[in-house]
Amino acid sequence: MIKLIITENEDNQRLDRFLKKYFKSAPLSYIYKLIRKDVKLNGKRAKIESVLQQEDELKIYISDEEAKAYREKKSFAKSKRQFNIAYEDENILIVEKPYGLLTHGDKTEKKNHLANQVAGYLADTGEYDPSRERTFMPSPVNRLDRNTTGLVIFGKNNKALQSLNKMIREKDYISKFYLTIVVGELKKDLKLIDKMEKNLTKNVVTVSPLESSEGKVMETIARPLKSAKGYTLTEVELVTGRTHQIRAHLASAGFPVIGDTKYGNKYTNEKIAKQFGLRTQFLHAYKLKIKKGIEPLDYLNDLNVISELPSNLQIIKNNLFD
């Protein structure tokens, strides 16, 4: 039998989600079977959706050998820090992700990614101890493509992470703004509302009208800042946060992002690459505005965080518009 006392960083999460993190190698069917037959919460049978509270007692009636088979060996391989810090307090960390770095690990890169670098930084400062945490790891609440630069928000503890996730999901809490350069001279604000479908095999997004029966709704606002030479420096506000949203949405509206090899204009991309050496999308997450926070982040009202363009993108902007 395994006895666990729920800690502060395990508080306020569903039982099934906690157990899925605790037995990381176990299939979901095993987790559900455990809850039905082999788990007691504070001495009573619990449901899948039961919410854990700090100091709760969780007993799991399986052998140590069975538990070991589904528990991933805790390993934490630090990688060299590549990010800059834009804002930090006791609960959150907002960092500037550089070009070429994944936000999360994937099958091609399990060590050197932003989430791992942030965890290493917080371990060095003593704010995160991986040897003591059973399920919690400091995690990002927004995600940028590998070749998109800019601001990413991390929760440093479980309560902050839960509040940030809710603030990202719901409107009126956090606004996300990007800087880009598009092909064409945009004369007025664009408010785009459409649906999107993702082709998982090709990793591309198809934009279709809002009236379409299939797909997820995506909403994007593009505001022209300066136009010249057939290009427009544009501020983009993400109302929703879909895969490749800005790039696919602007391209479908006739204003593709320069350098974008998936959705962009091939002729313009070749011209920009020859002139400036840019071979990927010009897209930078430059501003986050936290309009109001949810406890314990209610002190974050009207917080604005700005990230300057990386030097290579700044050079392109200066050459085209100054």
Q: What is the distance between the alpha carbons of residues 96 and 148, in angstroms, rounded to a whole number?
A: 11
Q: What is the distance between the alpha carbons of residues 267 and 260, in angstroms, rounded to a whole number?
A: 11
pLDDT value at residue 108: 75
Q: Which CATH architecture does the domain made up of 174-321 adopt?
A: 2-Layer Sandwich (3.30)
Three-class secondary structure of residue 171 per DSSP: coil
DSSP type of residue 270:
H
> Nearest CA to 169 among 239, 100, 225, 116?
239
- Express each pLDDT in 197-243 by its tens digit: 988 888 899 999 998 888 999 999 999 999 999 999 999 999 998 98
CB 130 within 8 A of CB 69: no
Q: Cα 213 vs. chain centroid, distance in angstroms?
A: 27
Q: What is the distance between the alpha carbons of residues 208 and 193, in angstroms, rounded to a whole number?
A: 10
List strands edge to edge, sheet with 39-41.
2-5, 57-60, 39-41, 44-45
CB 170 within 8 A of CB 276: no
Fold match between 84-169 and 174-321?
yes
| Per-residue confidence in pLDDT tens, the chain, 322 aa | 899 999 999 999 999 999 999 998 999 999 999 999 999 999 999 999 999 999 999 999 999 899 989 987 656 667 889 999 999 999 999 999 999 999 988 777 768 899 999 999 999 999 999 888 999 999 999 999 999 999 999 999 999 999 999 999 998 899 999 999 999 999 999 999 999 998 888 889 999 999 888 899 999 999 999 999 999 999 999 999 898 999 999 999 999 999 999 999 999 999 999 999 999 999 999 999 999 999 999 999 999 999 999 999 999 999 999 8
> Nearest CA to 13 among 131, 162, 139?
162
Superfamily (CATH) of domain 84-169? Pseudouridine synthase (3.30.2350.10)
Q: Cα 304 vs. chain centroid, distance in angstroms?
A: 18
> Nearest CA to 74 among 156, 7, 133?
133
CB 160 within 8 A of CB 166: no
Q: What is the distance between the alpha carbons of residues 160 and 171, in angstroms, rounded to a whole number?
A: 18
DSSP type of residue 133:
-
Superfamily (CATH) of domain 2-70? RNA-binding S4 domain (3.10.290.10)
DSSP type of residue 292:
-
Q: What is the distance between the alpha carbons of residues 158 and 18, in angstroms, rounded to a whole number?
A: 12
Q: What is the distance between the alpha carbons of residues 290 and 309, in angstroms, rounded to a whole number?
A: 20
Which CA distances in Å does 273 have to 174, 251, 265, 267? 34, 18, 12, 10
Which CA distances in Å does 228 have to 184, 255, 280? 9, 14, 21
Residue spans per domain, the chain: 2-70, 84-169, 174-321
Q: What is the distance between the alpha carbons of residues 64 and 46, in angstroms, rounded to a whole number?
A: 21
Is the whole-model pTM more than 0.85? yes
Q: What is the distance between the alpha carbons of residues 245 and 243, in angstroms, rounded to a whole number?
A: 5
Q: What is the distance between the alpha carbons of residues 216 and 200, in angstroms, rounded to a whole number?
A: 14
DSSP type of residue 228:
E
Q: How would you class 99 by CB atoms within 10 Å of its CB: exposed for 0-12, middle for 13-18, buried for 19 or more? A: middle
